[in-house]
Structure 1
Amino acid sequence: MSGDHSVFLLMVNGQIESAEFPEFSEISCRYSFVYGQDWVITSGLEEGCTQKARKNLIETAKFSFNFPIDITFKSTNPFGWPQIILSAHGPDFRGTEQPRGYGVTHIPLVPGTHKRKIAMFVPESSSRFQQLIGWLTNRRPEYVDPSNLAHGEGREVTRVRSQGYVTLSFNIVTKDMKKLGYDVCPSDVANPSIPEQQALDA
């Protein structure tokens, strides 16, 4: 692969740090990556699930996971840049696992360390009758395939409600993107400016 100059690498290292769901006492998070057709995973796991966590009442009632994420992609172009899909689940009063939130975000484009606080949401029943049926059968609305959240089609017809947050941290490294003509450095790094006073002194 080192001799292939037509691809670039995206290395993602980080962790699912914590979650905030004030209404619940136990949560676990699942994650998966969605990416374009030109992207290939060269190492790491495409999906995973954290341990179950209970609220840390000492630290503002957060759920602490510190669950590692480590994956490397290769691609020929940035179209279909990877996204990470999150889904949180927890038991209800009957002990049945229920969806507690879904979220999605793109992997950061710029190399370096990043932190993201993802707003989570849950789908809602489309009518009071369906809501009653769901309560009687102990089945809440959920996404059959959460990867569809990475696409915009049909999302406007789904009723959702905001519920909780999940915090992620990323360490991003890219390789050979500039060789293919892609510059993902911040503008202030790619084109550093000299403060006006220093320029006058010079």
Structure 2
Amino acid sequence: MVWNFPIDITYKTTNAFGWPQLVVAVYGLDGFGRDVVKGYGCIHLPMCAGRYDLTLRLFRPRSASLLQSFTSWLTGMPAEFSDPKFPSYGEGREVTRVQSGGFVKVQVNIMTKDMDVFGYIDGSARDPSLTAITHL
């Protein structure tokens, strides 16, 4: 499916903690016409200005047991994350059982402004001496 709809988002901050991420949840119909999750994906947005073609690998949670898997199939309610932002969290993901669910291709245009004022180099510096941050 191609979704050619631009999204304009502006962030303003004085530090790079929690750099923006793109979190995607893809839903679709199962064999019985029920709306179920097909996959989740997450990727950090690039820090340098420019146009990027990104590929988000999708995954979906698996049931903990065969009985839960059968019950979720029967009721049409497969395992889902209770918090849709869960894929962007680092904590707790290492114990989550998942399976691959395909991929999503995203094209983003990144613009940065005044990062050098706060001591960050975004890769667009024209002066070669500005390509590394030096501390005195």
State the shift of 1:136 in Å. Answer: 1.4
Out of 28, 36, 43, the position equivalent to 1:98 is 36
3-state SS of the aligned residue for 1:149? helix
Match of 1:191 in 2: 128
More strand by share: 1
Say whether residues 1:84 and 2:17 are aligned partners: no
Contact 2:24/2:42 (8 A) holds in 1: yes
The residue that corresponds to 2:7 in the other structure is: 69
TM-score (norm 1): 0.60
Cα 1:118/1:190, change in 2 over 3 Å: farther
The answer as to whether partners of 2:20 and 2:44 remain within 8 angstroms in 1 is yes
Q: Tell me if 1:152 matches 2:90.
A: yes
Structure 1 portions without partners, runs of 5+: 1-62, 193-202
SS at match of 2:16: coil
Runs ≥4 residues deviating over 2 A = 189-192
Query: What is the TM-score of this pair, normalised by structure 2?
Result: 0.88
Which whole-Å deviations, capped at 9, do the CAs of 1:175-200 have from their partners, x for residues lacking one?
Answer: 1111111101168x6539xxxxxxxx
Question: How many Å separate the matches in 1 of 2:112 and 2:124?
Answer: 14
Q: CA RMSD in A?
A: 1.7
* Structure possessing the higher radius of gyration over alpha carbons: 1
Residue 197 of structure 1: aligned partner: none
Q: Is the contact made by 2:61 and 2:97 (CA closer than 8 Å) also made in structure 1?
A: yes
- Structure 2, unpaired ranges of 5+: 130-136
SS of structure 2 residue aligned to 1:176: coil
SS at match of 2:12: strand
CA 1:113/1:190 → structure 2, altered by over 3 Å: closer, same or farther? farther
